[in-house]
Chains A and B, each alone.
Chain A
Amino acid sequence: MKMSEAIAGMPTPPAGAPMRPSVRQREAAARTSRTLVRRRIVNNIMVALLTLSAVIATLPLLFILFHLAKSGLSSLSIDFFIKDPKSVGESGGGMANAIIGTLIVVSVGCAIGLPIGVGAGLFVSEQKHTRLATVVRFLADVLNGLPSIVMGIFAWQFLVRPVGHFSAIAGGIALAAMLVPMVTRTTEEMVALVPHALREAALALGYSRARTGLVIVLRTAMGGIVTGALVAVARIAGETAPLLFTALGNQFRSFSLSKPIAALPLQIFQYAVSPYEDWHAQAWAGALVLIAMVLTISIVARVATTSHGDGGSD
């Protein structure tokens, strides 16, 4: 009988009526019981360590926000948002030129970078066994690791020098070049999570490969792609190096894509290294506005994708 299989070092059950629980079961339960106290202690320590890690991970952001609020809030006024910088020595003025500039340059970057990045990510994931996909994936990784200053020099070499002057469009393209590999990789990862059965269902209804990818796969992965794209946009919105060589910066308000344009990171940099007390305070305020913009984008998009997802599941 299988019950009576002897286990080394364990008593065999006596003959006769089977007991409940069996000797084996009682041995196993007793063995488990002996480990419980130690395991509970280890478990509590591990949970405590993990909780601590989670708290520490958010500390830099909280610290930065707190410090920025302390140093920047005092210079923040309506003027900061609607007025351009005054010349040195004059008090007042704002950073409206830089806020507008950042919005323009980042918009150009997104308009060029997001479609290419999402498209490339979809291709790399859906055609992952082709040689082209392998090459693209590898190059995207290399590009992701490229220092942004190198990207800036390249953009200057090919977009600024031939034209002869700095421009907003050159800045936007430099940012797009940084955006593409980031978006490609997150899109690829999100698309890979879409169940294969869903593709088969669409293909079985007569959808083409491309249409299945665009209508079914992208739609399913949209939440993750949007989140990933936002992280990338937030990253490039704060980039300074690529813009130094392309958009250059501008003390005046400009809406032209072909002229040098101001941007918040540039202006913060310029003001922070200046010798003027007034400008230092404005740099803090600029940093606060920049981080607030990034936070707002993230929150709005998160809310938008959540409600979108709910609607889709009905």
Chain B
Amino acid sequence: MTAAAPLTTGAPIAEAPTGVDVPGTPGILEAVGYSFWYGKKQALFDVSMNIRARSITAFIGPSGCGKSTFLRSINRLNELIVGTRHTGEIRLDGADIYARGTDVVALRQRAGMVFQRWNCFPKSIYDNIAFGPRINGETRRDVLDHLVESALRRSALWDEVKDRLRDLATGLSGGQQQRLCIARALANDPEVLLLDEPCSALDPIATQRVEELLVELKKELTIVIVTHNMQQAARVSDRTAFFYMGTLVEEGRTERIFTSPRQERTEAYVTGRFG
């Protein structure tokens, strides 16, 4: 078991093993018997899974299957909705993120989120990216400059925007804005990047750029992506989890899920017979 890394104030973050896919290695993210309710309606039933560090995990399943709910539970965005509750645990590096004393601000710095529809702030490109580091205590001008450049380079946007960092971010194209949102999340140096259908509003070329970016980024962080696009899951992910009606039906190496699924419902879904 990895040494628990508390999310509470000031605690050092423990060294953890590398993200090599060793059987039996605990993942950076673990759900244990996690159930979730919107009011009286139960959206997730007893989900237990491991998500491995420095890999891409895809959540697939038909609309309303709970995959986005689960993704949003990982950085506790769901609790902004009135009337929700949960049971079970989700652990980040061994520490329950719902434990008392957990600071959601610290959690969200470590687990960044990119949404379906790009949501750049109506500020300059530079200010959008510096937003996270600034609010999280970075005041040194040169460090901020460096963080912005590095985040833009890592999201493959630097060459397109380096001459207009002071321009309004909302003037960029959709694909550029979505990559800017990824850069904005990266500038916080999170350990986990959560993406909720990041390509559903993008054209194929912009989608390809984002996918290439994700494969590059998994060298340094853990990526969880919700997608409706089965080909996308097959192309980019190392592991795939299939959700259906609030339950995790099957989880495993992407190749195996798509070629020899163990569950009949998984096979029906990945071959396009329903959903």
Q: Do A and B bind each other?
A: yes
Interface residues of A (CB under 8 A from B): 1-3, 5, 7-10, 17-22, 24-37, 39-40
Residues in A with CB closer than 8 Å to B105 are: 32, 36, 39
Is A24 a contact partner of B189 (Cβ separation < 8 A)?
yes
Residues in B with CB closer than 8 Å to A10 are: 143
CA distance A18 to B53 in the complex (A): 12
A sample of 27 cross-chain residue pairs with beta-carbon separation below 8 angstroms, ordered by A number, consists of A3-B219, A7-B143, A9-B140, A9-B143, A10-B143, A18-B19, A18-B220, A19-B15, A19-B16, A19-B18, A20-B16, A20-B17, A21-B13, A22-B220, A25-B190, A28-B133, A28-B189, A28-B190, A29-B13, A30-B12, A32-B136, A33-B106, A34-B10, A34-B137, A35-B137, A36-B106, A40-B103
Identify which of B72-80, B146-154, B244-252, B262-270 touches chain A.
Answer: B146-154
**B54 closest partner in A (C-beta):** A20
CA distance A122 to B219 in the complex (A): 55
Residues in A with CB closer than 8 Å to B146 are: 7-8
CA distance A29 to B106 in the complex (A): 7
B6-37 Cβ-contact flags toward A at 8 Å (1 or 0): 00011111011111000000001000000000
Is B13 a contact partner of A31 (Cβ separation < 8 A)?
no
Given A18-B18, A21-B13, A24-B220, list of 15 further CB < 8 A pairs? A3-B219, A5-B150, A8-B140, A10-B143, A18-B220, A20-B16, A20-B18, A20-B53, A21-B16, A31-B138, A32-B106, A35-B137, A36-B9, A36-B10, A37-B9
B46-83 Cβ-contact flags toward A at 8 Å (1 or 0): 00000001100000000000000000000000000000
Residues in A with CB closer than 8 Å to B10 are: 33-34, 36
Is A28 a contact partner of B18 (Cβ separation < 8 A)?
no
Residues in B with CB closer than 8 Å to A5 are: 150
Please tell me if B142 contacts chain A, counting CB pairs below 8 Å. Answer: yes
| Nearest CB on A from B241, distance (A) | 21
Q: B119-165: which residues lie under 8 A (CB-CB) from chain A? A: 133, 136-138, 140, 142-143, 146-147, 150, 153-154
| Nearest CB on B from A36, distance (A) | 5
CA distance A118 to B182 in the complex (A): 44
Dominant SS among interface residues on chain A: helix
CA distance A177 to B69 in the complex (A): 51
Is A25 a contact partner of B9 (Cβ separation < 8 A)?
no
Is B143 a contact partner of A2 (Cβ separation < 8 A)?
no
CA distance A29 to B28 in the complex (A): 15
Given known pairs A2-B220, A8-B142, the reply for A25 and B191 (CB within 8 Å) is: yes
Given known pairs A5-B150, A25-B190, A40-B103, the reply for A35 and B18 (CB within 8 Å) is: no
Nearest 4 Cβ contacts at the A-B interface: A28-B189, A35-B137, A32-B136, A32-B109
Dominant SS among interface residues on chain B: loop
**B222 closest partner in A (C-beta):** A20
CA distance A53 to B126 in the complex (A): 34
Is A26 a contact partner of B19 (Cβ separation < 8 A)?
no
CA distance A10 to B189 in the complex (A): 13
Residues in A with CB closer than 8 Å to B219 are: 1-3, 18
Residues in B with CB closer than 8 Å to A8 are: 140, 142-143, 146
Is A33 a contact partner of B11 (Cβ separation < 8 A)?
yes
CA distance A37 to B105 in the complex (A): 11
CA distance A9 to B9 in the complex (A): 22
Residues in A with CB closer than 8 Å to B147 are: 7
Is A2 a contact partner of B110 (Cβ separation < 8 A)?
no
Residues in B with CB closer than 8 Å to A20 are: 16-19, 28, 53-54, 191
Residues in A with CB closer than 8 Å to B178 are: none
CA distance A39 to B136 in the complex (A): 9
**B188 closest partner in A (C-beta):** A28
Is B13 a contact partner of A7 (Cβ separation < 8 A)?
no
Question: Contact check: which of B11, B93, B136, B220 meets A3 at CB < 8 Å?
Answer: B220
Is B13 a contact partner of A35 (Cβ separation < 8 A)?
no
CA distance A3 to B220 in the complex (A): 7
Is B221 a contact partner of A25 (Cβ separation < 8 A)?
yes
CA distance A234 to B10 in the complex (A): 55
Residues in A with CB closer than 8 Å to B154 are: 2
CA distance A269 to B85 in the complex (A): 54
Residues in A with CB closer than 8 Å to B153 are: 2
CA distance A31 to B140 in the complex (A): 12
CA distance A20 to B13 in the complex (A): 10
Residues in B with CB closer than 8 Å to A3 are: 219-220
Is B140 a contact partner of A29 (Cβ separation < 8 A)?
no
Given known pairs A20-B54, A40-B103, the reply for A35 and B136 (CB within 8 Å) is: yes
Question: Contact check: which of A24, A29, A37 meets B109 at CB < 8 Å?
Answer: A29
CA distance A42 to B60 in the complex (A): 40
| Nearest CB on B from A38, distance (A) | 9
| Nearest CB on A from B248, distance (A) | 24
